[in-house]
A and B are shown apart, each in its own frame.
Chain A
């Protein structure tokens, strides 16, 4: 569905991504792992159009989409939940959800919002509350719910577990799995490697702007070298 090849991106003169290539098959969950500063977020920004890569190509459903603006990519079906859950804190929960459907012109928005609230009961309960008054986990759910309302084919999630309590993290991963089962392809960036790989089909490991390892989630989970370096525990 998504095929990224030979991408290089720069911040000023510093090269952040070096010849990145990755593929996301339709209907799968793919995880990009890596330490801080490895270029995970930059990769996401490049795919979603927030950053323009210097070289390489990004193909989405067989179509070259490199250089398109984020709003154009959203119309094509690529939605990003940015790092640090950037919700609109001055708008109510309901307004935030409505903004997610901003580019849609069909008549099923209200129905979809109701459906989403069914899946996230806490958002229904707090629909009149300002987004900024929600807890971290609730804000993350709101950010994900909002992205789903744009009816994406490919959902990009940038560190959805960041700064959340372990119990909430488990919830979030459960929701990601459910979204995937409902038919949305997911590309996930995570530091929480173990939990991310557990729901994923395939994984890439990013290190200082280069892909240093890749494999099925099962392989990565059982690779002692990767376990040691990125999963934070010596293999026994």
Chain B
């Protein structure tokens, strides 16, 4: 019964949705201080390659690779974040986009390490490694009536789901903290924020590094879910894709890019016949959104409206249940 419902293909798509949501969150973090960074595809690549190379060449456990890859991306975030502090708006976007390209070119040309454009294959697969470990303890997925394959993809999906929810919860919490208030003040008016005693250098670099960490983390997950990476995965197209999550979904609230990533990953899968025209549609989306809804689909007003609707429904529910009593 359960076994028939679990389709590895659907689970794989769902896993990529989750990774894209994490990427959407990564661009949201830097945007919440008003910095538009297009380097997140590059940071994702740094995370993916670091983790893949460590696990491939040194037989390190995946978890070590993921940690190292994430930290490496964060370190690059600080290195890039400090000199670009004085850049704003489109200039920052250009520099960070350039950085992403530099990273990609390094992956392509450092053939002795990265195998160049061919990419790295045979990267340890997260789900299979977990299954192997569990089998070592005498576990068999057949207990749940699942085939190995189904179990592998289900584990990955559930693991990513927990990770994604934790990340969203963390940044929602951070938004309501001192750090979040500082980010919001800097986004609204840097000079005013500075005169209120907010150390804008610190918070801007912090946001940049956090964005890089999260993007790098998504990269490591990507490497160990797909088991194959190549420089093309982290090219200009990826940077634009991440940007579109925020442009389409909105960047005022964290649910904006989350929704953007969800919708724009599902859409090409559901409408197979248009997936070839994906980048044309992305271009159209940017133009239409700029003209009609520059803040993106999901903004504070929409959220309040949804809250109002659900609370009304709850109230109605409450009164009807009272009546029945």
Chain A residues in the interface with B (C-beta under 8 A) = 48, 50, 69-71, 74-75, 79-82, 86-91, 95, 98-100, 102-103, 146-147, 150
Question: Please, which residues of chain A bring their CB within 8 A of the CB of B184?
Answer: 88, 90-91
Option from A87, A95, A98, A150 in Cβ contact (under 8 Å) with B197 = A150
Question: Please, which residues of chain B bring their CB within 8 A of the CB of A70?
Answer: 194-195, 197
Question: Please, which residues of chain A bring their CB within 8 A of the CB of B272?
Answer: none
Report if A102-B196 is in contact (Cβ < 8 Å); known contacts: A86-B189, A89-B188, A91-B184.
yes
Q: Is the C-beta of B191 less than 8 angstroms from some C-beta in chain A?
A: yes
CA distance A76 to B199 in the complex (A): 14
Does B188 contact A103, Cβ atoms closer than 8 Å?
A: no
Q: Is the C-beta of B161 less than 8 angstroms from some C-beta in chain A?
A: no
24 contacting pairs across A/B (C-beta < 8 A)? A50-B194, A50-B195, A74-B196, A79-B195, A79-B197, A80-B195, A82-B191, A82-B195, A86-B191, A86-B195, A89-B189, A90-B184, A90-B188, A91-B184, A91-B185, A91-B188, A98-B181, A99-B196, A102-B182, A102-B196, A146-B196, A147-B195, A150-B196, A150-B197
Q: Is the C-beta of B118 less than 8 angstroms from some C-beta in chain A?
A: no
Smallest Cβ-Cβ distance to B191: which chain A residue:
A86
Chain B residues in the interface with A (C-beta under 8 A) = 178, 181-182, 184-185, 188-189, 191-199
Does B198 contact A102, Cβ atoms closer than 8 Å?
A: yes
Closest CB in chain B relative to A152 CB, distance in Å: 10
CA distance A91 to B192 in the complex (A): 12
Smallest Cβ-Cβ distance to A80: which chain B residue:
B195
Closest CB in chain B relative to A134 CB, distance in Å: 14
Chain A to chain B: the 6 pairs with minimum beta-carbon distance, closest first: A74-B197, A86-B192, A71-B197, A103-B197, A88-B188, A71-B199
Does B192 contact A82, Cβ atoms closer than 8 Å?
A: yes
Closest CB in chain B relative to A113 CB, distance in Å: 15
Q: A79-B195, A88-B188 are in contact. List 9 more A-B contacts (CB 8 A).
A: A50-B191, A50-B195, A86-B195, A90-B188, A91-B188, A95-B181, A99-B196, A103-B197, A147-B195
Report if A48-B195 is in contact (Cβ < 8 Å); known contacts: A102-B178, A102-B181, A102-B182.
yes
Option from B189, B194, B199 in Cβ contact (under 8 Å) with A88 = B189
Closest CB in chain A relative to B308 CB, distance in Å: 16
Smallest Cβ-Cβ distance to A156: which chain B residue:
B195
CA distance A69 to B193 in the complex (A): 13
Question: Please, which residues of chain A bring their CB within 8 A of the CB of B188?
Answer: 88-91
The CB with the most chain B CB atoms within 10 A, among A50, A79, A86, A89, is that of A86
CA distance A146 to B185 in the complex (A): 13
Question: Please, which residues of chain B bring their CB within 8 A of the CB of A88?
Answer: 184-185, 188-189, 192-193
Question: Please, which residues of chain A bring their CB within 8 A of the CB of B189?
Answer: 86-89
Question: Please, which residues of chain B bring their CB within 8 A of the CB of A103?
Answer: 197
CA distance A204 to B185 in the complex (A): 34
CA distance A95 to B175 in the complex (A): 14
CA distance A89 to B185 in the complex (A): 10
Question: Please, which residues of chain A bring their CB within 8 A of the CB of B192?
Answer: 82, 86-88
Does B197 contact A102, Cβ atoms closer than 8 Å?
A: yes
Report if A75-B196 is in contact (Cβ < 8 Å); known contacts: A88-B185, A91-B184.
no
